[in-house]
């Protein structure tokens, strides 16, 4: 077998593997997009067709007709996610700034403790958290979903701290010589240079909040205050036989996430890579 034939077989195997992976991961998405543009009758055909007979967006009209609160749920999800993102960026960056720039004898002891909290399963904290928020009378409000984000997150603190350590401390010293203080360094030097990790944190925090089902399901009781993730579960019971409408609801839920990753993927890669460049 010649060298060119070996190279051809190797390339063919590589593309076959990539094609199989593409079908595995993109298949459900393609099927969802196809289903939401079908009529009800088309979804019951045997065997089912991959493509709709014609472009049909009636599923979206039925979706909003069956559940008039759909727009409210979308708005609720955006509001909660935006506040969570804001809290995660502000609180985690401030804590990480202290770990990366302040010199105290407790710094090296506290940071491992912060990282150790990542090993605590969320299920263990579920009951104590519910009891605490009940005593605070926060049940059936958005506060249990928003306030914890403003207290810092261990993973986001780690990302910010690692990124801040890649920024030369000579910039801090130059700012002090110009009459600045620590807050000036943080707001005028560190944060403007940290756009990649800020964008990365924004995306991670938004996705986690947007897709969160357990939190809203536990703490929110009023239908008008539901998030989209909880509302879609309620919708399954109302339109369990209307597969195009369910697919339309699923499509609405993934659009913001897809747009975020589409426009910010470069910052995600850059931010994650740089966080590991210095210990």
Cα–Cα distance, 95 to 104 (Å, whole number): 14
Residue 275 has pLDDT above 60, yes or no: no
Q: What is the mean pLDDT of the chain?
A: 86
Its pTM stands at: 0.85
Length of the chain: 279
In the chain the domains, ranked by start, together with CATH numbers, are 3-60 (no CATH), 62-275 (1.10.3720.10)
Cα–Cα distance, 17 to 205 (Å, whole number): 33
Q: What is the pLDDT of residues 2-22, one digit of tens each?
A: 667 778 778 888 888 888 888
Give pLDDT, residue 1: 58
Q: What is the pLDDT of residues 51-89, one digit of tens each?
A: 787 778 888 888 888 888 889 999 999 999 999 999 999
Give pLDDT, residue 190: 92
- Asked whether 62 and 241 are in contact (CB, 8 A), the reply is no
- Asked whether 74 and 252 are in contact (CB, 8 A), the reply is yes
Give pLDDT, residue 227: 93
Cα–Cα distance, 163 to 120 (Å, whole number): 24
Average pLDDT over residues 229-238: 81
Give pLDDT, residue 141: 93
Residue 38 has pLDDT above 80, yes or no: yes
Q: What is the pLDDT of residues 165-194, one digit of tens each?
A: 988 888 888 888 888 888 999 999 999 998
Q: What is the pLDDT of residues 107-136, one digit of tens each?
A: 888 888 998 998 888 888 899 999 999 999
Give pLDDT, residue 270: 64
């Amino acid at each position: 077998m010649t060298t060119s034939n070996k190279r051809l077989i190797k390339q063919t195997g590589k593309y076959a593997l990539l094609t199989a992976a593409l079908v595995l991961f993109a298949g459900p998405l393609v099927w969802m997009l196809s289903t939401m543009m079908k009529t009800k009758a088309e979804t019951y055909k045997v065997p089912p067709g991959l493509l709709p007979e014609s472009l049909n967006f009636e599923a979206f009209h039925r979706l909003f007709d069956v559940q008039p609160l759909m727009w409210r749920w979308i708005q609720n999800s955006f509001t909660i996610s935006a506040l969570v993102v804001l809290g995660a960026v502000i609180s985690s960056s401030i804590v990480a700034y202290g770990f990366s720039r302040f010199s105290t004898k407790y710094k090296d002891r506290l940071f491992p403790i912060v990282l150790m909290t990542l090993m605590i399963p969320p299920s263990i904290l579920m009951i104590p958290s519910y009891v605490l928020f009940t005593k605070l009378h926060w049940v059936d409000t958005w506060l249990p979903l928003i306030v914890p984000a403003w207290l810092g997150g261990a993973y986001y603190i780690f990302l910010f701290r690692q990124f801040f350590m890649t920024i030369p401390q000579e910039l801090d010293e130059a700012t002090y010589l110009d009459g600045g203080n620590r807050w000036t360094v943080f707001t005028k030097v560190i944060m403007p240079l940290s756009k990649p990790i800020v964008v990365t944190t924004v995306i991670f925090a938004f996705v986690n909040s947007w897709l969160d089902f357990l939190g809203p399901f536990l703490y929110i009781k009023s239908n008008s205050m539901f998030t989209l993730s909880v509302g879609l579960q309620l919708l399954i019971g109302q339109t369990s036989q209307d597969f195009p409408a369910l697919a339309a609801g699923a499509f609405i839920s993934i659009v913001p996430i897809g747009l975020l990753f589409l426009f910010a993927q470069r910052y995600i890669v850059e931010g994650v890579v740089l966080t590991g460049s210095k210990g």
